[in-house]
Amino acid sequence: MLNIALFGPPGAGKGTQSEFLLKKFNLFYISTGDLLRKEIAEKTKLGLEAQNIIASGGLVSDEIIVQIIEKTITDNPNANGFLFDGFPRTYVQAYILEGLMLKLNTSLNCLININVDEEESVSRLLNRGKTSGRSDDNEKVIRNRLVEYDVKTRPVMQFYKDRGVYFEVDGHDSIENVNKKIINILQDELSKSLYNIVLFGYPGCGRGSQGKALAEKYGLEYIATGKMLESEIEQKTEVGMKILELYENGQLVPDEIVVQLIEKKLENSKGVKGYIFKGFPRTLVQSYILDGLLKKHGSKISKVIEFEVPMLELINRLDARSKTDKRMPYDSSTAKIVKRLQEHEKKTIPVIEKYEQLHDFKKIDGMGTFEEVFERTVVDIEKSMRHTR
């Protein structure tokens, strides 16, 4: 999710720049000014309350703003990101925005101040007043809007400077140049955020080999929980010994152990561009755990892929693998293979169904050669990266 706020005095060009950015980054537009004008046009209770304040160039109360903005955000939880124009306009609204973003498990990526001086603002707004039909585009009201901006809105900058997400561009420059500079800032920000992929598919569908190749291609850290458990056993670590004991007693490895291992891996792989998870989450409980682990690193799931292979082909592949030295301990008998397929059906399918609703989700045809499947996957990942970048 990319969430941005365009900041600056009235007439800075926030609306104009928004139009370009919405398309380029596929964002949902929230202009509190537009929302208020709509309430006024529809003569709602909120609109009637706001009408006189807007006409005089004052700021409407934070209470009114909360009501209109909360509804718009919560009505669109699946947006690719939000672009706020004319909000937050007070220090209190900055806190409100923080709370609303938190509710969606996200935050504001950047506040971009389009800086123009007072006389430029006035002359642009007077010019706009000739055609905008807006009653507040006249000199007396414009001057009042600028006073409100200085007194109540300017302090908002410090809120975002303190959080390291404040950026500034010179708004006197041409529309195209301002646009280019904003795009550069946003692309820089996006490249800093992690790209996290979760891979699904029945055992034997090829997610392991595809996952490793994808990790290499995109500079992502490959996290396969099964392999992590095995390597603890091989290294005879304290945890490894505990896991071995559980295996030998035919017990499942508890989530606490898996969580600790993933947490350690995330801590130790700072500087990567993101993660690819294979074999985790396997249950709904683990899906909540993953959200929490990623959130701790200021991140979240970016893409979910499920490789589809017909059951008969899966059984053939697993059976063939069991006769080679790539054999996994759990491939050794038909009973074990069937048990794994059943476990997937019972516990992991509900996670896939949940992700289908919540995330950028794609089923990829897993039939064909490794290269063919890889190519299909890459095409899809690049499309979704472009979508968010």
Q: Which residues bind ligand AMP (CB under 6 A)?
A: 10, 32-33, 36, 53-54, 57-60, 65, 86-87, 89, 93, 136, 145
Q: How far is the CB of 15 from ligand AMP (least distance, A)?
A: 7
Q: Residue 146 or 182: which CB sits closer to ligand AMP?
A: 146
Q: How far is the CB of 69 from ligand AMP (least distance, A)?
A: 8
Contacts 24+ apart (CB under 8 A), 29-32: 29/82, 29/83, 29/85, 30/69, 30/72, 30/73, 30/82, 30/83, 30/84, 30/85, 30/87, 31/84, 31/85, 31/86, 31/87, 32/65, 32/68, 32/69, 32/84, 32/85, 32/86, 32/87, 32/89
Q: How far is the CB of 136 from ligand AMP (least distance, A)?
A: 6
- The DSSP line for 103-156 is HTT----EEEEEE--HHHHHHHHHHHHHHH--TT-SHHHHHHHHHHIIIIITTH
Q: How far is the CB of 348 from ligand AMP (least distance, A)?
A: 44
Q: Residue 38 or 340: which CB sits closer to ligand AMP?
A: 38
CB 54 within 8 A of CB 2: no
Q: How far is the CB of 135 from ligand AMP (least distance, A)?
A: 10
Q: Residue 134 or 273: which CB sits closer to ligand AMP?
A: 134
Q: What is the DSSP letter of 100?
A: H
The residue of the chain with the least Cβ separation from ligand AMP equals 33
Q: Residue 127 or 260: which CB sits closer to ligand AMP?
A: 127
Give kind and range of the element (H or E) at residue 200.
strand 197-200
Written as six digits, the tokens of 48 are: 């009637």
Q: How far is the CB of 36 from ligand AMP (least distance, A)?
A: 5
Q: How far is the CB of 102 from ligand AMP (least distance, A)?
A: 19
Q: Residue 93 or 225: which CB sits closer to ligand AMP?
A: 93
Please measure the distance between the N-terminal and C-terminal CA atoms of the chain and give it in whole angstroms. 10
- Total number of residues shown for the chain: 389
Q: How many CB atoms lie within 10 A of CB 183?
A: 15
Q: How far is the CB of 242 from ligand AMP (least distance, A)?
A: 55
Written as six digits, the tokens of 295 are: 């959130």
Q: Residue 130 or 236: which CB sits closer to ligand AMP?
A: 130
Q: Residue 154 or 363: which CB sits closer to ligand AMP?
A: 154
Q: Residue 65 or 198: which CB sits closer to ligand AMP?
A: 65
Q: How far is the CB of 127 from ligand AMP (least distance, A)?
A: 15
Cis peptide before 10 (omega within 30 of 0): no
Q: Residue 6 or 352: which CB sits closer to ligand AMP?
A: 6
Instruction: Say how far apart CA 177 and CA 225 lie, in whole Å.
Output: 47
